[in-house]
Structure 1
């Protein structure tokens, strides 16, 4: 960054001496980009948690899987996290995605295998709420609730080991419409002591899928959070007491 700033300073002197407006415009863009880069470094200098430099596993779940407002919020949250990652050049992969029967999203798991993703996203961990107008009932609003769980993406040397006897591996096959004759297979791995489970499509990458599922389970076990959480599942109370956060674009 010092080298970039030195180059801009030297070019600026020449551009001013020659009154070169085109070069001045280019330098203004370079200074803006340099300012953004410095701001990003300043943010990362504050990320000093134990796992802040790790990638992230983001679990988004509708609080009530049969509530359209909640499933719509879960879908909106997943979309915003992916857009945010694209804006910052972070690679993403949606490894699990379960849609609601009517509309929206019941649950999805998003993996960001990029440095500092966990440090940048861990503030999103918790309960979210959003109130919006009901498109089918004018004049009425509905409030959707969703849970976001952010975990550091486990590395090979992280202190979380899973014993084989603690894992249950199941393969589910679901047949599609009779005319299509298509069969979909899902590999589901559950950690028996905690009930944490991950289901991934079972295909020719089966061995890779199993390793991927185990890594996600290790990630969700990696950090002991200050607030107790039932890792077997989450259901919002009827009044959804506690702090709720509105998602920002």
Structure 2
């Protein structure tokens, strides 16, 4: 309980500091504009006006952050990526997505902890799970759950043909012991195995990997980031609790949206975003219609516009509480 209160206190102090900084910056530049106009210094006025436009964008983003009020929005986040059908091409796409989210997290000052990673046979990854550690990591990433589609000239095709690849992304909140998720031993199947293939660049190559399957739901998690089988099991149980908790949040959200005829199911085969690199460059979110022509910038982690638009859409639909 004390740790939770300290975390809430830190979050509130951070928010207060941001508001105070925003107010001070606003006053400073309003004063500079008045001074520039009085002293006939158009350059000062121009620079301060640009700064105020940037401040407006920052304030809008802070407004969105204040609306991240769901039960688990402030939590860390488990992020899973799975390559779709298509072998090497899809596995390379999964690796590109992994890099995109890693770059995004680094830009925000979030930390990454690797849970598991399974390499592809020739290139890329078949799957990975990472823990994104930072205030509101889940709140920002929860709208990334769904199928991501890539269109490009394949670097693995000697005939340089255009290929379409798919990968699925899943975001789940990391939950603490204060949130009760009932899991009965009889509902679990626990398997130990040796890390397959090369094991990935982010995990230990050990023989202590753990896979836990929740039989009633079919949800399966795996962890191989530690040399200790005991610690891998504890991490896997934490991931399973997160998946089951997120599934309950999803049920509530779907119930809240039941009357919304435009609601679209999120799952395999239901794309949320399309990344086109050939014959033109365009990334488009199919839920919000936000588009960006700088596809490479997006793949380098510049995804905030998509996250903000998706979050705003959820708030407008009245499901921001889950």
Q: Which category of TM-score, normalised to the shorter sequence, fits these structures?
A: 0.7 to 0.9
1:195 aligns to 2:222 (yes or no): no
Question: Structure 1 54/203 Cα, relative in aligned 2: closer, same or farther at 3 Å?
Answer: closer
Partner secondary structure for residue 123 of structure 2: coil
User: How far apart are the structure 2 equivalents of 1:175 and 1:97?
Assistant: 9
Give the aligned partner of residue 77 of structure 2.
56
User: How far apart are the structure 1 equivalents of 2:132 and 2:146?
Assistant: 18
- Residues 70-219 of structure 1: matches in 2 within 5 Å? 70-135=90-155, 136-173=157-194, 184-201=207-224, 203-219=226-242
TM-score in terms of structure 1 length: 0.74
Partner secondary structure for residue 110 of structure 1: strand
User: How far apart are the structure 2 equivalents of 1:147 and 1:134?
Assistant: 19
TM-score in terms of structure 2 length: 0.59
Q: Which moved more, 1:200-209 or 1:101-110?
A: 200-209
Partner secondary structure for residue 169 of structure 2: strand
Give the aligned partner of residue 41 of structure 1.
62
**How far did 1:206 drift?**
4.0
RMSD over equivalenced CA pairs, Å: 3.6
* Structure 1: 5+ residue stretches without partners: 230-235
User: How far apart are the structure 2 equivalents of 1:97 and 1:111?
Assistant: 12
> Contact between 1:185 and 1:202, CA under 8 Å: does it hold in 2?
no
**How far did 1:45 drift?**
2.4
1:246 aligns to 2:274 (yes or no): yes
Partner secondary structure for residue 184 of structure 1: coil
Provide Cα deviations, 1:68-125, integer angstroms capped at 9, x if missing partner: 2211211111110111111111112221111111211111112112221122112211
Question: Structure 1 187/221 Cα, relative in aligned 2: closer, same or farther at 3 Å?
Answer: same
**How far did 1:205 drift?**
4.4
User: How far apart are the structure 2 equivalents of 1:118 and 1:125?
Assistant: 11
> Contact between 1:69 and 1:145, CA under 8 Å: does it hold in 2?
no
* Structure 2: 5+ residue stretches without partners: 1-21, 199-204, 255-264, 276-282, 284-297, 299-322
Partner secondary structure for residue 44 of structure 1: helix
> Contact between 2:115 and 2:225, CA under 8 Å: does it hold in 1?
no
> Contact between 1:56 and 1:112, CA under 8 Å: does it hold in 2?
yes
Task: Considering fraction of residues, name the structure with more helix.
Answer: 2
Provide Cα deviations, 1:170-192, integer angstroms capped at 9, x if missing partner: 32246999xxxx86331222222
